[in-house]
Amino acid sequence: MTSGAGGFQVVQEELHGAVRELPNQAKVLDDTRQALVARQVPASAFANVDASAQAGAAHARTVEDNARALAASRAELDRIISEMRGTAATVRDWDKAKADQQVAQGADRIQAGGDGSAGDGSAGRPTPAMLNEANRQKVADARDQERQVLDELRQGMSLHHQGSEADRARAIADSEQRIQVYDHLLAGDAKILRFDPAGDGRIVTAVGELNADTRNVAVFMPGADNSMNTYPYQEEMARTFVDRGDAAGGITSVVWMDGSFPPVRDPGSLRPLHLDGLMLTSAEQLGADVRQFVNTELRPMVGADTRVSVIAHSYAGAALGFADRAGLNADAAYYLAVPGIGIPDPANLSNDYGTVRYATVAPNDPVGLFQGGWFHGASPADIPGVVVLDAGRDRENNVVSMWDVHNSMYDPGSESWVNVYNVITNWPDVTATP
């Protein structure tokens, strides 16, 4: 990071290294002070005469003065660490702003008639390749920051953690997992269309190409209990359709996790359920966001004849319902094992795009108990004109147990996976094995 004349220059590696190392020095001061005050010389060590008593008092004052000086040094070091962390955060924010500026400049080049083009050549939009390049830099920066957080957690000096040792252990495991996700993203070939590491993290990626020649795009919205740390599983699932589509059908999968997918279970709590995962706290905003993405960002990247399907699993069904009602420019909206469509009246699902709706829930899926209830709105099976497809059998045609069936919808070769594939590719007989 550099500034203009009369400004300043920061060597980021050295700055972040100092921020990681200084807490170690603070620990040295703490250990020294603890050793100093822990081994006081007892009064009995001094003879019961005035001179000895004076020597004992002088020793005690010396220990106290040194302990006070060490405490003052520790406080001053804490102040320095805090200021350096602030500087490091400023540097990271500056880098993020520069990455965003690169994307904006790419759009400016397109508007000015430069050599960039997006999808079918629509002017004024950065291409997937441009977005991917800028967001990969953001991922690399976020990985550096998370490594710093992890170092602080391991040293017990982190401002990111307040709580018990069990809480700290969970925070360490979470940080380690987040770094693994960033490593995965940087090593992989998925195009990163959006990225934000804040909180639970937000990300949108494309596995495959997005351009005027793209035949089929599947936008996958995961259910509750998902965050940046679960992204690799979502990508792996999405790839199963791309791999099959490369052989027959041509599919690009988009993993859309650009929002809050609330927890159902509350980690570290005696409460087995988290209300955010049962209510529609996040679903309406998710619906508005995915509609904006599909209608104003994804569609201009691909051709006019590209088939776009949006598949929502579990909790995301309510978000898809909100998006669908507002006018989602999708050829297919698939409500896959969802507890409801968010809105109470399924007759309100109509738009100008000719969207065909599909719904699936296995007979033994516990989520069926919630359908049509107060929490998540109407059942997708009640949508006028909906195509209801079967689920619940694995690739060997065995019935999946009620404990596993809800999370088995994307198991390759299963009854539900085949139906999802056929919806994506608009297979003439949607229930047939392609």
Query: Hey, is 293 helix, strand or coil?
Result: helix
Q: What is the pLDDT of residue 125?
A: 79
Q: What is the pLDDT of residue 114?
A: 34
The DSSP secondary-structure symbol of 355 reads P
Q: How many residues does the chain have?
A: 434
Q: What is the pLDDT of residue 262?
A: 77
Which two structure tokens, joined as six digits, stand for 140?
């690399």
Residue 332 pairs in a beta bridge with 309, 356
Buried (b) or exposed (e) across 17-36, using 16+ Cβ within 10 A? eebbebbeebeebeeebeee
Query: Hey, is 275 helix, strand or coil?
Result: helix
Query: 243 or 84: whose pLDDT is higher?
Result: 243
Identify residue 72 by its one-letter amino acid code.
A
**What is the CA angle 56-61-67, rounded to 5?**
130
Task: Find the range with the poorest average confidence among 20-24, 83-87, 332-336, 357-361.
Answer: 20-24
| pLDDT bucket at 272, cuts 50 / 70 / 90 | very low
**382 alpha-carbon distance from chain centroid:** 32
Inform me whether the pLDDT recorded for 210 exceeds 80. yes
Which backbone phi and psi does 220 adopt, to 5 degrees? -100, 125
Task: Find the range with the poorest average confidence among 173-187, 208-222, 338-352, 389-403.
Answer: 338-352
CA distances from 266 to 278, 281, 305, 339 (A): 12, 16, 44, 20
Whether the CB-CB separation of 305 and 419 falls below 8 Å is answered with: no
Identify residue 385 by its one-letter amino acid code.
G
Inform me whether the pLDDT recorded for 8 exceeds 60. no
Q: What is the pLDDT of residue 351?
A: 77
What is the DSSP pairing of strand 202-207 with strand 251-257?
Answer: antiparallel
Q: Give the list of residues 6+ apart from residue 60 with CB closer than 8 angstroms, or none.
A: 40
Q: What is the pLDDT of residue 268?
A: 46
Which two structure tokens, joined as six digits, stand for 139?
């991922």
CA distances from 219 to 148, 300, 398 (A): 34, 15, 28
pTM of the entire predicted model = 0.71
